[in-house]
Structures are given as C-alpha cells and as structure tokens.
C-alpha cells in the first residue's frame, strides 16, 4: 500500500519534555556529566514543540518539511527510549540501596547505568541541535489554541442530488420520512440525527429526503440546507440558513450582532425543515445557542443532522439516531454498473467478462457507496480486460488520485494528535480482529499515549479516547457470545495501515522473508504467522528499537530458543503478548526489558514466574488468565510499584494458598481478588491501606489475626463492588467475640458497595454500619456460619434486594422488609421472619426446623421448601386490592397472595397436609410429603407445564393429577406400593413422560389402552422399575420419537407384534441394563428409527451379533447403531440426540430459566428437570 503516513510527533515531544524536566532534578546527572545535555535536549524540544501543529498540518504538501518531521520523529522516539531507560536505572539503583540501607555518599561508580547510556544521550542532544537549527528554514507558525487548519475541510454540500446515481436508499428515505411524519407536530423543535461512517451516503440520504415531493409540500417554501463541516460558527450557520431560504447571499460586511438580529426577525412564524450536514462539533455549549434560536420557529419544525459522531446525536437529538447501514452488494453493483459502463458500447462477450471482474471489485468496496463510485469512475471508459484485472489484483486503495482514502482520511486529519497515534497503533491488529476496549486502553497506556489530566485516572482518560474514536465511527461495536467487542471496518483498517508508517508492521506467513534493513526502524510489530521462531530470531537480531510485540491470533505457537534472545535484545519493549503460546517457562532474562509495561502470558503452560520479573518496575499490566499450571506468584511481586492490573482467574485463586508479602506497595492496583491477613511482616491488614483504586471484588480472609482493621481504609475504596470478610472456621469456644466485633466494625466499606459476604464471624451482633443505613447502595448480603448472632435487622438498607443466610443456628429473628430474594439454610432456631414481604419474588428455605409459618408474599414467583419438619399447613392469606368497576366506583376485591407463583418445589416436608388452593404455577415438584393428598384443582392448573411427583404416599398424588392442556412434562419417581399406574387424566399436550425407580411397578397402566390416549407424547423414559415385565401390548402413542428403557431387571418383552413397529415417528431407542430381554418384537422395528443404543443386555446383545444373531436382520439397516459402547454402524451426518434433548425441545414454552437450557447437549444440563433430584 502506498504510504500516506501522517507523522505525529507532538505527543512524543510533550512526553519527553515532561520526563526530561523530572530527570533534571536528579543529582545523578551531575555525577554522570549529562545534566547539561538533558537540559539542552529539553530546551530544543520545547522550542520545537511550539511550532509542531503547523508542521504536522503542512507535512502532506511540503516534502522537505515531511522529511524534517521524519528526522524529528526518529530522534524523539530515541530520546524517549533513552530517557526512560535512564529513569529506570536510577529508580532501580535507589531501590537496591534502600533495601540495603547503606547511608554512604552517592558515587558514580555505584550507579547501575550502562557505560554507553551517557554517551548516547550526548549524541542524541547533538542530533537535536541540528534538527532544531533546520526548523528555521520552514518558517513555522507558533501554535494558536491548538486549532487545526481549515484547509482540510470537505467541500460544502448542497441539497441537490442526481437520483439516477442513487441506489439502495429508497427504504432508508421512506423510514426517515415516516419518522418525520410520526414525530410530535405540536411539540417543540424535533431534531433527528443520521449517523454513519464517512462515505456511507448520509448526505445523499438527507438530499433524497429534502427533495421528496411530500416533504416539499409539507414544509412549503421553508426548507433550508447548511453544510456545517468542521468550523461550527454560529454566525456562519445563521447566515447560511437565511441564504438557503432566500436563495440570495447576504451582504458580506454584516456584523455578527446584525446577523443575529435579522435571524430573530426571520424565523418566527415558519414551520421549517433544516438540514445541518456534515456536523463534527460535539460541544454542547456551542450547540445550545443555536438550538435555542431554532425554537423560534413554529411547532412541528424539524432538523435533520448528518454526522459521523454518535456523541453529536446524543447532544442534539430529540429522538434516537437513524443509523445508516452499508449498501447491499446488489445495490452496489447497480451503482457501479451505472457509472462504469456506457450503454450499447460493448459486445456481449466482452461486457460479460468485464462484469465478472467488476463484481469482484464491487465486493472489495464493502458496501461503501463512495468506494463504489470511485472504482466505477476509475474504470469508466476503459474496456481493456487486462487493465480491469490489474485493478482487481492490486490493492485498490493504493491508486493515485482516488477519493476513498481522502474521504476516510478526513476523519483522521481532524483528530487531535494524541488520538492520531492511538488510532495508528490499531494498525498492528489484523483485519476483522475483535478487540476489547479495556485491553486496547492498557496497550495505549503502555506506550504513554494516554496522558492524565490533573488528578484524573489514566484509564478513565484512555476510555474517553476510545469513546471519542468510537463516536467518530473508527470502531464498530460487536456482540460476540454476549461479550462486547470492537473492530475496525476493512476500509478503516486500510486507513490505519496507510497512515501508520514504517514503524508498524504485521509479519504474516507470506512475508516472512523480510529484509533485515527494513526491520531496523520497526517499533510496533504483530506476529500473525503460524511459526514465530524464525521471524522472532530476525527481530532479535535487527529490530533493536521494538516497543510492541503482539500475537493477536489465537493459536498455539512455539518460540523455540528465540525467547531468551528476544529478551536480551528488546531493551525498549513496552508491550509484549505471549498468550496462547507453548512456552512453559519464562527466561529470567525478562529483567532486561526494563521498560516493559504490558505483559500477557495468558493461556500458556507456564509453571512459575522468575523472581527477576519483579525488577520490571514500569510494569502496569500482568495477565495470567488461564495459566492452569501456575500455583504461586514471585516473592518480590510487591516491588512492581506501577502495577495496575494483575489479572488472574478464579482457578488460580482457588489453588493459591499464599500471596507474596508487601502487596501494599502496589498502590495503583485495580484488582486483588484475595488477601490473606497474616502475622508476618508484609501481611498485615494495613497493606490494603493505600490501594485506593481496587475495583470489583475483594476477599479478605484469616481475619482472626487482624489488628487495627481501620488501617485497611475500606471506606475510601469507592470502586469496590463486593467485599468478602472471612474468619477461619473453628470451634465456637475459640472465637473472641469482642475482638471479632471490633474488627468487623473497623472494616466498614464505602457507601457505594453493592455486595457484602461475611463468613465464620464470631461476634454476637453486627456493626451499626451494616444495619443503620450507611450502606444505602447495598443490594446483596450473604451470611455464612455466623453462629452467635441472634437478631438480624436490616431495615436500614433501603436498596437491599437479596439475602442469603446459612448455618446461623442461634438466629431467632430476621427483619428485612424490602427483599426480592431470600434464601435461608440450616438456621435451626429461626422461628420468625417478616410476616409481609410485598416485593419478594424468590424464596428458598432449607432445614429450618423451627419455622412454622411462611410470610405473605404477593409478588412471589419461585418457592423452594426443603426439609421443613414442622410446617403443617399453608398460611393462606387473601389480600384485598382496590379497583374501579364499570360504574367508576372503587371496590375491594380478593387477591390471593400466591397468584403470581411460577415455580414451586416442596421437598421433605412430612407434616405438610395441603398446598395453597389459589395458585397456578408453571412448574411444580413435590417430594417426600407423605401426608399430602391433593394438588391444585384443574381450574388453577391451566398454565402448569412441568409436574414432578417423587416419593408419593402409595401413589395417592398420582390420582390427583389435574386435567390440563398445558402440561408437557410429567415425572413420576420413587413411588412405592404401586403395582400399576392409575389412568392418567386428559393431558393432550403431554410430550415427555418419565417413570423412574418405581420398584413395585409391574404394569404401566391399570386400564388397557390408556397409554395410547397420550396422543402428543414424544419421549417416554422408563428407568429403575425392577418388576416391570413388558411394555404395553396394546401399544404406545404413535407420535413417540424417543423411547428409553433402563435398569428394568425383570423386563422380558418390548411388547407384542406392532407395539414398536407402529411407532412411525420413533427415531431413538435406548435399552440399558435389562438382563432378561432377549429379542425385539417379531415384526421388528419401525423404519423411521435412526439411532439404536444397547448396553448391558447380554441376551439381547448375543442375538444382535452381526450377520449371525437372530435379531441382526431387524437392526442391520439402522443408520446409527451402538452395542456395548462399540459403534457397529455410524452415519456421521446424523445428529445424535440424548433423551433429555427431547425434554427441552418439547418444553420451549416454559419460563425463561428453562428456555436458557434448551439445546442439543450430550449431557443433561445442570439442575435440569429431566429427572427429579431432591
């Protein structure tokens, strides 16, 4: 690609001046003899700094100036490298001598700076002398308010459009007109933004709307068009509105005040349509005066704003922006054909050949009308096939005098310099690469591209940089597996490549033979090849100035012996990505990379980190996600004083037992999942004191040894969302009640905290900050094994939504009125919870032996009761609600308290005699309730979809199953003393039936033919019915698709002739652990059968031996056949479905929790309702 590299020097110069100013204060400079050189270097760069804006703007038009900027850029980058190395050496020397506590005078011989560093600084200072002198001949202007030259403005647009050359925007036009028609005609000014990247056709769409006859008629003569562009000048815009209306130019000498006065007289009384085209300004203070003036028009006035910036839409739009999409390929072709071909000037064969090539060219334009027009114009009038082929095979964006890159580059030219270098950095990513916002910001930070403003957090500033580029359409939002990612459109990526210059390079499999001389000035490189060892060795030998080395593709790759050599050579590396490589250890030579700020070792098999990594004091980000072999961190990790991100996954924290000491030195750390308090030096709780940037979750354990817990300063850590306070589980008698109460009191977190977890706390009461409202934003509390607490009063937490308490054996009283979710487990003395919980939607109570009554919960949706030995009856409360009747009178009507219940599970409640009568669940599971004899009557069962009855008392509940059309899944399990199932009621919607572990069951139905009445049944699963001898001779439902029979040790027959053969929809048959079963029915199996699985059925297996067994002819044509785990026959293209697949496919109508579990899985989804699991 032809280089259009735009040299961005000012941010680097700014950073060098800042670093140099800091270094000048060091006394080491005098001893080393370089202070004068650094002062001179800083002085030269400060003088150059004042004229850089002008130089950067003029570089594309003045080749000699561009060459000078290139020299300055190289010198500035070298200066930044050297000064950073110098600063690192000084810091490390100081750190080493602080540890040794040697109060000796500073001696130059003891300073750990390589002998050539000072010499290089002197050489560099001399280079900058020459560069500063050369500057004089360009007569550069001093920067004025950092303004960009207006010379880059796009030519003004107008409302005229040649509709013959517009394709594919008719639907967009109609939608815009509909939106204009449907907006409030009597309301204030309506502003509709049209947003999209450059070259997409926003102006064209606005022109189509503006010139539509319906729009003309609606707004009569009051239509105005103003091309705003970069210079958002109120006076110019007001002048443009009036001139567009009158079609006449105003006198050039009108003052701003006079124009404003004329406009105030001009607009009132007009219902207008105004198009403000090509808007860039997103400063609300600039927009506000214009919007106020536009409100002088009549009600129903409309403004269309076209812009590349979503931020503009957010500021000015009164309705959601219209996001313009890429042009469909067929419409792109129509546009290209219109421009590239002349009518009737080509014979058919030649035109057909050109069309074939042209369609490939159009595909490269990626739906951008401007790109299509450019290619069509380029090829128009040239009918030589070879020429078209050359265009196709070349990179079309390299062509001279073409318009697409200037169109896209317009957005780039008007970026501030610091954002230009941020965007250029993205050229190291491959095309279509999906990147993470936070990771890109960290990479920018590693390059010093992000400069903090006053006390603002550097990451927050970087995030603002990213958002700015996003609103300018440089990035596109993606949603990949519910994860938010971003990428650049292909044309934007090409733009990044074109402006980034030779410092950026992508090494691919097709360019591995790069010449060493071309790589000497590389500073940012991505390895996109399969084997990186060879190019890595070349880089180590020749690319001594490298700052970034990334592996953006996710594939395992081997560095071989190159890694150690790379570390020795990459003296200036800032960002290094070794993720997803095959490395198992990190060479200790990593310490040579003193400027390293970003290191990614994720998804590697690395077993330990060398302690030498702790000398990388510049390190900001250390990523160790998915390092399954890593169990500990290096002991001097606390020396990484600039570390902000230590990224480890849950598996590491689970395996890791001890963290390094002195983590309190990591004052900028954002994430520390766990901290274990200890008695040893470097493990006290005060290590957390100055870690004010901690975000997310913090788990503090071993709190029984904590002293002076106020030193943790948790109340100053406003970014923490969740904290876990954990004492070691121990005997109650060994707990110091008063000490633990004081520790918890002193650990008061910030008021913005969202989640609180307390485990094994030995105090008898909770601190006031937890109960009296200091944590007003708290939404969730979990309390585990707080055995001495008797009363829990949480009424002072107005936003508390979720409470989970477990193993609080002495808890008597619970007060928590605002909850939406309540889970209580193993609280044996708890006898009282609030009587009325109006907002509660989820209630789970397990092993609470003293709890005799449940609260009134009119909003309850999910209820689970387990192991309640005393609950006898339901406290059925009929609430009253006030409604207005047809006569307008207010009346009181009954409102059952459980009317909204969707799911209910009642397990092991032996004294429960009745369920509530007025409830209508979708899902009901009952187990171990021996005295329960009735289910909700049919009138309340009309939305019941899943019913599971387990350990029913002699099958009494089986006869209580209600008639309902909605039931699709029925589970009957562990029912004793039932020889045959009673006749099921009318269940026309039943699709899945499970009969499991009914040991006394001998027959599936006490009435012949009752099974065939289940006309919709798709799945029948019979498991663990030891006395069942045969399937029903009268047959099974004919729509059955899956039959599964297992662990039926008395089963000798699968039915008579026709029992299976008549199942014309049967696809899957599973037979397992039926030792007495010898054969299939004599008429064989249905021809629809696709899958047959036989396991642990020795007699049947013997009969199914290939070619010789008597049953072989019945099964030989089944496409997928597996016997005792041996695949006898297989058809790969057939999808294999397990029994639970049918359950979930049949149940697509159930609530969203179950819908999430739908799908073809090879194992049952966790907590599924495939079978009842008490």
User: Are 688 and 708 a contacting pair, CB within 8 Å?
Assistant: no
For residues 455 and 463, give the distance between their C-alpha atoms in angstroms, rounded to a whole number: 15
Close Cβ partners of 164 (under 8 Å, ≥ 6 residues apart): 338
Q: How does strand 720-726 pair with strand 696-701?
A: parallel
| H or E stretch at 580 | none
User: In angstroms, how far is the first alpha carbon of the chain from the final one?
Assistant: 66
- How many alpha carbons fall within 13 Å on the CB side of residue 1091? 18
Q: Which residues of 625-646 are buried (b: 16+ CB within 10 A; e: fewer)?
A: ebbeebebbbebbbbbebbbbb
User: Are 899 and 881 a contacting pair, CB within 8 Å?
Assistant: no
Torsion of CA 155, 161, 166, 168, to 10 degrees: 90
Report which of 877, 954, 869 is spatially closest to residue 907, judged by C-alpha positions. 869
pTM score of the predicted model: 0.74
Q: What angle do CA 281, 11, 668 make, to 5 degrees?
A: 95
User: Are 305 and 194 a contacting pair, CB within 8 Å?
Assistant: yes
Phi/psi class of residue 330: alpha, beta or left (left: φ > 0; alpha: ψ in -120 to 50)?
A: alpha
Report which of 300, 231, 249, 307 is spatially closest to residue 272, judged by C-alpha positions. 300
User: Are 1141 and 1161 a contacting pair, CB within 8 Å?
Assistant: yes
**Res 657: pLDDT:** 80
CA of residue 584 relative to chain centroid, distance: 29
Phi/psi class of residue 955: alpha, beta or left (left: φ > 0; alpha: ψ in -120 to 50)?
A: left
User: Are 660 and 633 a contacting pair, CB within 8 Å?
Assistant: yes
For residues 362 and 286, give the distance between their C-alpha atoms in angstroms, rounded to a whole number: 41
Number of Cβ within 10 Å of residue 673's Cβ equals 18
For residues 1081 and 1096, give the distance between their C-alpha atoms in angstroms, rounded to a whole number: 19
Number of Cβ within 10 Å of residue 781's Cβ equals 23
Q: Which residues of the chain have pLDDT under 50?
A: 1-3, 102-114, 145-153, 395-397, 399-403, 406-407, 877-882, 890, 892-895, 1140-1174
Residue whose pair of structure tokens reads 């010449």 in the numeric block: 515
Phi/psi class of residue 997: alpha, beta or left (left: φ > 0; alpha: ψ in -120 to 50)?
A: left
Report which of 43, 57, 67 is spatially closest to residue 144, judged by C-alpha positions. 57
What token pair was written down for 429? 């990513």
E-assigned strand segments in 154-201: 190-195
For residues 384 and 1031, give the distance between their C-alpha atoms in angstroms, rounded to a whole number: 78
Close Cβ partners of 501 (under 8 Å, ≥ 6 residues apart): 3, 5, 6, 7, 424
User: Are 1040 and 1020 a contacting pair, CB within 8 Å?
Assistant: yes
Distances (CA, A) of 315 to 272, 477, 984: 21, 20, 64
For residues 227 and 323, give the distance between their C-alpha atoms in angstroms, rounded to a whole number: 20
Report which of 500, 488, 200 is spatially closest to residue 365, judged by C-alpha positions. 200
What token pair was written down for 979? 């020889």
User: Are 780 and 759 a contacting pair, CB within 8 Å?
Assistant: no
- DSSP letter, residue 1153: H
What token pair was written down for 44? 């030269």
Distances (CA, A) of 134 to 53, 68, 892, 1166: 17, 8, 92, 73
Report which of 1140, 1128, 1129 is spatially closest to residue 1164, judged by C-alpha positions. 1140
Residue whose pair of structure tokens reads 């090829």 in the numeric block: 379
For residues 1012 and 1102, give the distance between their C-alpha atoms in angstroms, rounded to a whole number: 32
Tens digit of pLDDT for each residue in 836-885? 888 889 999 999 888 877 888 888 889 999 988 777 766 554 444 445 55
For 872-890, the DSSP string reads: -S----EEEEEEE-TTS-E
Maximum pairwise Cα distance, the chain: 108
Strand partners, 586: none
For 344-380, the DSSP string reads: T-S-HHHHHHHHHHHHHHHHHTTT-HHHHHHHHHHHT
Close Cβ partners of 356 (under 8 Å, ≥ 6 residues apart): none
**Res 680: pLDDT:** 92
- How many alpha carbons fall within 13 Å on the CB side of residue 307? 27
Q: Return phi, psi of residue 74, to 5°.
A: -65, -45
Torsion of CA 774, 779, 784, 789, to 10 degrees: 40
For residues 843 and 1137, give the distance between their C-alpha atoms in angstroms, rounded to a whole number: 35
**Res 722: pLDDT:** 97
For residues 956 and 935, give the distance between their C-alpha atoms in angstroms, rounded to a whole number: 10
What token pair was written down for 1102? 């013997």
User: Are 80 and 19 a contacting pair, CB within 8 Å?
Assistant: yes
Tens digit of pLDDT for each residue in 473-486? 788 787 766 678 89
Report which of 1143, 1155, 1158, 1144 is spatially closest to residue 902, judged by C-alpha positions. 1155
- DSSP letter, residue 856: B
Strand partners, 1093: 1070, 1122
For residues 1060 and 1069, give the distance between their C-alpha atoms in angstroms, rounded to a whole number: 10
User: Are 861 and 881 a contacting pair, CB within 8 Å?
Assistant: no
Q: How does strand 1120-1123 pair with strand 1126-1129?
A: antiparallel
For residues 859 and 901, give the distance between their C-alpha atoms in angstroms, rounded to a whole number: 8
Report which of 906, 880, 885 is spatially closest to residue 895, judged by C-alpha positions. 880
Residue whose pair of structure tokens reads 């496919």 in the numeric block: 1145
């Amino acid at each position: 690609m032809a280089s259009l590299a735009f040299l961005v020097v000012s941010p680097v110069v700014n950073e060098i001046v800042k670093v140099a100013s800091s270094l000048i204060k060091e006394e080491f400079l005098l001893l080393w003899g370089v202070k004068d050189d650094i002062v001179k270097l800083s002085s030269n760069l400060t003088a150059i700094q004042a004229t850089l804006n002008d130089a950067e703007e003029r570089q594309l038009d003045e080749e000699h100036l561009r060459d000078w900027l290139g020299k300055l850029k190289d010198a500035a980058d070298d200066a930044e490298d050297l000064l950073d190395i110098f600063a690192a050496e000084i810091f490390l020397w100081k750190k080493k001598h602080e540890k040794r506590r040697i109060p000796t005078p500073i001696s130059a011989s003891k300073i750990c700076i390589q002998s050539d560093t000072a010499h290089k600084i002197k050489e560099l200072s001399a280079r900058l002398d020459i560069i500063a002198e050369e500057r004089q001949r360009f007569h550069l202007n001093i920067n004025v308010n950092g303004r960009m030259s207006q010379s880059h403005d796009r030519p003004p647009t107008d409302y005229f459009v040649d509709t013959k050359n517009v394709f594919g925007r008719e639907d967009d036009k109609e939608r815009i007109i509909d939106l204009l028609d449907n907006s409030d005609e009597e309301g204030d000014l309506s502003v509709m933004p049209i947003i999209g990247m450059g070259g997409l056709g926003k102006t064209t769409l606005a022109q189509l709307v503006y010139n539509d006859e319906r729009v003309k008629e609606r707004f009569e003569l009051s239509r105005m068009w103003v091309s705003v562009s970069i210079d958002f000048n109120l006076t110019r815009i007001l002048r443009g509105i009036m001139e567009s209306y009158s079609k006449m130019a105003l006198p050039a000498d009108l003052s701003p005040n006079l124009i404003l006065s004329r406009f105030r007289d001009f607009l009132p009384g007009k219902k207008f349509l105004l198009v403000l085209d090509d808007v860039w300004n997103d400063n609300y203070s600039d927009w506000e005066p214009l919007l106020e003036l536009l409100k002088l028009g009549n009600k129903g006035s409309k403004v269309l704003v076209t812009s590349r910036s979503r931020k503009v839409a957010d500021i000015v739009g009164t309705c959601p922006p219209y996001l313009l999409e890429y042009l469909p390929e067929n419409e792109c072709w129509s546009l290209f054909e219109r421009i590239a071909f002349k009518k009737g000037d080509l014979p058919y064969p030649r035109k057909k050949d050109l069309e074939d090539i042209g369609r490939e060219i159009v595909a490269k334009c990626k739906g951008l009308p401007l790109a299509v027009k450019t290619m069509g114009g380029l090829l128009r009038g040239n009918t030589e096939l070879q020429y078209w082929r050359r265009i196709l095979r070349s990179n079309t964006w390299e062509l001279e005098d073409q318009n697409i890159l200037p169109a896209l580059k317009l957005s780039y030219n008007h970026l501030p310099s610091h954002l230009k270098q941020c965007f250029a950095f993205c050229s190291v990513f491959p095309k279509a690469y999906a990147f993470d916002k936070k990771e890109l910001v960290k990479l920018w930070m590693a390059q010093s591209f992000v400069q903090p403003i006053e006390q603002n957090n550097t990451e927050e500033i970087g995030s603002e940089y990213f958002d700015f580029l996003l609103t300018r359409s440089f990035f596109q939002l993606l949603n990949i597996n519910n994860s938010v990612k971003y990428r650049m459109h292909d044309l934007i990526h090409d733009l990044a490549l074109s402006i980034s210059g030779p410092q950026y390079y992508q090494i691919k499999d097709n360019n591995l033979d790069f010449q060493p001389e071309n790589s000497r000035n590389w500073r940012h490189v991505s390895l996109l090849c399969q084997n990186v060892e060879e190019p890595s060795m070349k880089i180590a030998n020749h690319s001594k100035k490298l700052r970034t080395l990334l592996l953006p593709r996710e594939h395992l790759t081997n560095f071989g012996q190159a890694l150690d050599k790379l570390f020795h050579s990459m003296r200036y590396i800032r960002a290094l990505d070794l993720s997803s490589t095959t490395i198992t250890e990190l060479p200790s030579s990593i310490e040579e990379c003193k400027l390293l700020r970003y290191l990614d070792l994720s998804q590697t098999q690395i077993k330990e980190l060398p302690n030498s990594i702790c000398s990388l004091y510049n390190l900001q980000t250390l990523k160790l996600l998915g390092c399954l072999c890593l169990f500990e961190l290096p002991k001097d990790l606390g020396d990484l004083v600039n570390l902000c991100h230590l990224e480890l996954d849950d598996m590491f924290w689970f395996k890791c037992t001890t963290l390094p000491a002195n983590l309190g030195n990591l004052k900028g750390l954002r994430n520390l999942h766990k901290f274990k308090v200890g008695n040893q030096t470097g493990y006290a709780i005060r290590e957390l004191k100055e870690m004010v940037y901690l975000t997310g979750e913090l788990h503090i354990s071993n709190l029984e040894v904590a002293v002076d817990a106020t030193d943790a300063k948790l109340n100053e850590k406003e970014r923490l969302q969740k904290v876990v306070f954990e004492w070691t589980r121990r005997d109650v008698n060994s707990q110091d009640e008063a000490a633990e109460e004081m520790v918890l009191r002193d650990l008061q977190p910030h008021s913005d905290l969202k989640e609180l977890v307390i485990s094994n706390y030995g105090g008898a009461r909770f601190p006031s900050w937890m109960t009296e409202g200091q944590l007003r934003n708290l939404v969730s509390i979990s309390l585990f094994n707080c055995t001495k607490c008797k009363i829990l009063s949480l009424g002072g937490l107005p936003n508390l939504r979720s409470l989970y308490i477990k193993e609080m054996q002495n808890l008597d009283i619970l007060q928590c009125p605002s909850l939406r979710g309540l889970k209580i487990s193993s609280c044996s003395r708890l006898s009282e919870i609030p009587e009325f919980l109006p907002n509660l939607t989820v209630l789970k109570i397990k092993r609470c032996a003293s709890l005799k009554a449940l609260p009134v919960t009119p909003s309850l949706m999910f209820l689970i009761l387990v192991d309640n030995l005393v609950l006898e009856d339901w406290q059925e409360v009929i609430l009253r609600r006030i409604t207005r009747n047809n006569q307008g009178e207010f009346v009181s009507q009954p409102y059952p308290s459980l009317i909204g219940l969707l799911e209910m599970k009642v397990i092991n409640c032996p004294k429960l005699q009745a369920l509530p009568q007025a409830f209508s669940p979708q899902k009901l599971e009952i187990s171990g309730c021996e005295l329960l004899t009735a289910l909700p009557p049919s009138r309340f069962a009309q939305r019941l979809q899943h019913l599971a009855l387990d350990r029913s008392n002699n099958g009494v509940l089986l006869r209580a199953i209600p008639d309902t059309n909605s039931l699709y899944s029925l589970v009957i399990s562990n029912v004793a003393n039932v020889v045959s199932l009673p006749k099921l009621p009318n269940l026309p919607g039943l699709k899945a039936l499970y009969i499991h572990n009914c040991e006394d069951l001998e027959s599936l139905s006490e009435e012949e033919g009752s099974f065939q009445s289940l006309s919709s049944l798709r799945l029948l699963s019979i498991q663990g019915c030891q006395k069942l001898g045969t399937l029903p001779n009268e047959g099974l439902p004919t729509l059955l698709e899956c039959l599964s029979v297992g662990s039926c040790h008395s089963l000798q027959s699968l039915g008579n002739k026709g029992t299976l053969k008549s199942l014309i929809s049967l696809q899957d048959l599973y037979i397992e652990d039926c030792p007495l079963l010898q054969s299939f029915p004599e008429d064989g199996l249905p021809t629809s059968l696709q899958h047959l699985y036989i396991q642990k059925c020795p007699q049947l297996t013997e009969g199914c031996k290939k070619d010789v067994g008597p049953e072989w002819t019945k099964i030989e044509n089944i496409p997928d056949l597996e016997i005792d785990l041996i695949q006898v026959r297989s058809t790969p293209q057939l999808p294999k479905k397990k029994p639970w697949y049918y359950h979930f496919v049949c149940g697509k109508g159930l609530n969203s929790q179950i819908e999430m579990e739908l799908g073809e899985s090879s194992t049952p989804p966790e907590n599924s309702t495939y079978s009842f699991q008490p």
